[in-house]
């Protein structure tokens, strides 16, 4: 069932930035991420859904009703911003109760709802604390809890974890996924962090220069980027020049199937984990430049006639590799694109 439908949305700023003719649907209970670099239009779409921007044209439909003419406070949405936006002079209870009082809820209903939501975000018993007594991660949880209390049809999250350190960001992602699974809330999440998008989304919409480049589940986006832009943006990737004719793509001695039926000069994309080490007289000759241990895996830099390539190997597989050593490599999977 479609919970949110953005239909032919256009919003252009005087600078020329903005979005053109964006259409997307979000199903009930789905977590969809808008992903892309700064200025690609993802926040414009999110703020238009929330009512903080007025589109030039198009429509926004939530639960079958257009919300285009409604101000933010009348829309069935709630927004979690980058900053926590908590009132410093109010304790946690009053920060959370504010929206419920406006909705004329009784004291007992407010107390019960706040107790429940604090358990949900794993901060039970923190009602009397002030924002200054909480860590950044705890403040962000309170901001998420406040949005939940409004029981929105769609929860909007604008880079909510970007101010947190890496470990906390990772924990908050897991937390959000757990909460989403237990509440069945429909969420639209904005980020420029591809790892974040890949880890929490049911579906990712990759945006570039005000347009949608690709829309698919995380696995599909990672395994089969539909354009050179998506291939460059999602995950680590090696890019080399090749030539395509008929059924084959040629890169020096290596040949691969021309699945996209391209012809002429092409850009070939290879994931570092798809580089396979073979005997020195097989495949493509490569000289090891550097071996870097990065936790549970190692990154090996290789000097080849196609340029410098990066390969990922399990940590224990690089014990016998050293700089200056000559090896052979081939690729278990390649993706080809028209050269830009």
Does residue 164 come out as left (phi exceeding 0), alpha (psi in the -120 to 50 range) or beta? Answer: beta
Among 13, 23, 25, 17, residue whose Cα is nearest residue 210: 17
Mean pLDDT score, 238-257: 90
Residues 141, 206, single domain; the answer is yes
Which residues, in sequence order, are bridge partners of residue 298? 293, 313
Residues 279, 193, single domain; the answer is no
Q: Specify the number of domains making up the chain.
A: 2
The CATH number that applies at residue 61 is 3.40.50.300
Residues 209, 269, single domain; the answer is no
Q: Which domain holds residue 93?
A: 2-229
Mean pLDDT score, 315-335: 91
Domain boundary residue, one of 167, 195, 229: 229
Domain boundary residue, one of 177, 205, 229: 229
Residues 184, 66, single domain; the answer is yes
163 pLDDT more than 80: no
This prediction has a pTM of: 0.88
Looking at residue 44, what is its pLDDT? 95
The CATH number that applies at residue 244 is 2.40.50.140
Longest CA–CA span in the chain (Å) reads 79
Residues 21, 150, single domain; the answer is yes
Residues 29, 156, single domain; the answer is yes
Question: What is the band of 5 on the pLDDT scale with cuts at 50, 70, 90?
Answer: very high
- Average confidence score pLDDT of the chain: 90
Q: In the structure encoding, which two tokens stand for residue 49, read together? A: 């859904």
Looking at residue 47, what is its pLDDT? 94
Please state whether beta strands 297-304 and 65-66 pair in parallel, antiparallel, or not at all (unpaired).
unpaired
């Amino acid at each position: 069932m479609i919970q949110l439908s953005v239909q032919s949305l256009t919003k252009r700023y005087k600078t020329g930035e903005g979005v053109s003719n964006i259409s997307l649907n979000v199903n009930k209970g789905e977590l969809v991420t808008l992903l892309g670099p700064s200025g690609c239009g993802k926040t414009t779409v999110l703020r238009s859904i929330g009512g903080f921007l007025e589109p030039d044209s198009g429509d926004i439909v939530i639960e079958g009703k257009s919300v285009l003419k409604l101000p933010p406070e009348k829309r069935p949405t709630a927004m979690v911003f980058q900053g926590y936006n908590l009132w410093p002079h109010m304790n946690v209870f009053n920060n959370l109760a504010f929206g419920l009082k406006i909705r004329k809820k009784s004291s007992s209903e407010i107390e019960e709802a706040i107790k429940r939501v604090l358990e949900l975000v794993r901060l039970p018993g923190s009602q009397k604390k002030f924002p200054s007594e909480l860590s950044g991660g705890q403040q962000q949880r309170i901001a998420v809890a406040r949005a939940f209390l409004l029981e929105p049809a769609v929860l909007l999250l604008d880079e909510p974890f970007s101010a947190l350190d890496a470990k906390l960001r990772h924990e908050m992602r897991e937390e959000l996924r757990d909460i989403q699974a237990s509440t069945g809330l429909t969420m639209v999440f904005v980020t420029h962090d591809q790892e974040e998008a890949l880890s929490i989304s049911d579906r990712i919409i990759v945006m570039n220069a005000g347009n949608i480049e690709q829309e698919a589940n995380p696995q599909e986006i990672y395994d089969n980027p539909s354009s050179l832009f998506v291939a460059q943006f999602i995950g680590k990737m090696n890019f080399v020049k090749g030539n395509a004719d008929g059924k084959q793509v040629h890169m020096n001695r290596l040949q691969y199937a021309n699945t996209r039926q391209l012809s002429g000069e092409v850009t070939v994309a290879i994931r570092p984990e798809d580089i396979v080490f073979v005997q020195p007289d097989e495949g493509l000759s490569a000289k090891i430049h550097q071996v870097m241990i990065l936790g549970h895996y190692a990154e090996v830099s290789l000097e080849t006639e196609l340029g410098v390539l990066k390969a990922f190997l399990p940590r224990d597989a690089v014990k016998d590799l050293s700089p200056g050593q000559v090896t052979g490599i081939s690729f278990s999977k390649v993706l080809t694109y028209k050269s830009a």
